[in-house]
Structure 1
Amino acid sequence: MGDEMNRPRILIIEDDEHINNIIYDVLRKENFLCTQAYSGSEGKMNVTRHMYELIVLDLMLPGLTGEAFMYELRTELKCDTPVIVLSAKEKLDHKLNLFDLEADDYVTKPFEVEELLARINVHLKRNAKTESVSQYKHKNLLLDSDTMSVRVNNVELNLTRREYKIIELLVKNPTRVFTKQDLYEFAWEDMYIGEDKTITVHISNIRHKIRNHTEETYIDTVWGIGFRLST
């Protein structure tokens, strides 16, 4: 399972089952972890529950359209995951509208899977370069990923490895809500099998260690969903 944590996760949102399966099969052969969704609403649900390094998005979707998904992804969910759009529409004004919605790339249907794969690799490499920052600050908390240390009010916290990993995920993604499954699979690098109490205990321990140095709240509980960094 440890190897899976280092493999890029890609969400495929395409209502045509044949095209969706073709993309899925090609990406799986390239050692990517893939999730398939067949509507905009299903894609949005996946984004709220899991982290992805890239999204492949069709526009002509049932229910929540691709354009509406893009708008909600960037505004409501505040998610900056790179998005490659698939569409049969070729007009310039349509393409420009997609970039206004903050899509990162555009592939016109019908397309060669080799071209799509090349574009995916470019965006993954580009995104990896932007993640080279080693220090992350939130309020009076400073996380240093080089030394794997966390300081609050300039006092280093005595954290276990898994406590550090949980804080790391929250601090690096300050607008995201993470389920217990997300936190467990990231911190334990193992498959989640309903270890609700384990995550709850670790969150409680982290809060206690932070509270020794400040009265500020750093981790919020989102009831029925999971946890997020306090605003």
Structure 2
Amino acid sequence: MRILIIEDNSDIVANLYEYFEPLGHELDNARTGQGGLARVAEQRFDVIVLDGMLPGLDGLEVCRRLREEQQCNTPVLMLTARDTVHDKVKGLQAGADDYLVKPYSLIELEARLHALVRRASTLRTDQVLRFGDLEFDPGTFEARRAGQRVELTPFGYKMLVALLRAAPSLVTREELEQELWKDDPPLSDALRSHIHALRLAIDKSFPQSPPMLFTVSGVGYRLVDHNVSK
């Protein structure tokens, strides 16, 4: 599993690393809520362990932003010292998938994380999206071009799926912004930066192949299969 730990207590973080890394799991850590949101925007994780009492941006707000603003579907297990039913309900309402009260058993935590990842995998469709030599497999959450794996950010995956579903038709800027941010796009032209990163991943990383991602100035973006276009 690729596990993101959003926790500010260094002893807890060290304990989780000591337990999970020897078992073959890959861990990353953010010490603040904002840092956790940034990690999720940049990388894909199988599951997130979220402290409920982070300084500043607390766990409830982080979870809410993950679900509502970043449209992140990664399973979230919230760790907290708050153990009332009301607290648990608030965590689940914020978007957490499970709730574990401190102190906890590491064996139980591992079992719960495996269960969350297993449950999430059953919700994915097995239909592979393909256009030209570019494909995305929702079952494994892997993108490939010409058989080689393409590493993308969570936003990159979302844009690629939208483009593959529409290909070879155009996807407007507004449609992509809706896909990424729903009805609350950022004031800056963040979409341009995400498109640039996607182009680097699927085109610039494959100089032996013709580019596939094209910009229709002022309108949107589309994928082109040169083998068909000739």
Band of TM-score, shorter chain: 0.5 to 0.7
Q: Are residue 28 (structure 1) and residue 14 (structure 2) matched?
A: no
Of the three residues 13, 16, 41, the one matched with 2:9 is 16
Residues 179-218 of structure 1 mapped to structure 2, 5 A cutoff: 180=197, 198-199=204-205, 205-207=211-213, 217-218=221-222
In structure 2, C-alpha distance between the alignment counterparts of 1:202 and 1:178, rounded to whole Å: 21
In structure 2, C-alpha distance between the alignment counterparts of 1:35 and 1:122, rounded to whole Å: 20
Q: Unaligned 5+ residue runs, structure 2?
A: 139-144, 163-178, 182-193, 224-230
- Paired residue secondary structure (1:67): helix
Give the deviation of 1:171 after TM superposition.
3.5
- Paired residue secondary structure (1:103): coil
How many residues align? The count is 180
Going from structure 1 to structure 2, the CA distance change for 1:31 and 1:198 (only over 3 Å counts) comes to: same
Going from structure 1 to structure 2, the CA distance change for 1:204 and 1:97 (only over 3 Å counts) comes to: farther
In structure 2, C-alpha distance between the alignment counterparts of 1:203 and 1:20, rounded to whole Å: 43
Residues 65-214 of structure 1 mapped to structure 2, 5 A cutoff: 65-136=58-129, 145=137, 160-162=146-148, 165=150, 169=157, 170-172=159-161, 175=180, 180=197, 198-199=204-205, 205-207=211-213
**Alignment match, 2:228:** none
Using the size of structure 2 for normalisation, the TM-score is 0.65
In structure 1, C-alpha distance between the alignment counterparts of 2:85 and 2:57, rounded to whole Å: 23
Give the deviation of 1:199 after TM superposition.
3.6
- Paired residue secondary structure (1:217): strand
Using the size of structure 1 for normalisation, the TM-score is 0.64
In structure 2, C-alpha distance between the alignment counterparts of 1:126 and 1:96, rounded to whole Å: 20
Q: Unaligned 5+ residue runs, structure 1?
A: 1-7, 147-158, 188-196, 220-231
- Paired residue secondary structure (1:48): helix
Coordinate RMSD, CA, aligned: 3.8
Percent identity over paired residues: 26
Q: Are residue 41 (structure 1) and residue 56 (structure 2) matched?
A: no
Cα offsets for 1:43-98 (capped at 9, x unmatched): 11111111111100001111211111011111111111100000111111111111
Cα offsets for 1:188-222 (capped at 9, x unmatched): xxxxxxxxx934968970125x99xxx96237xxx
Going from structure 1 to structure 2, the CA distance change for 1:21 and 1:207 (only over 3 Å counts) comes to: same
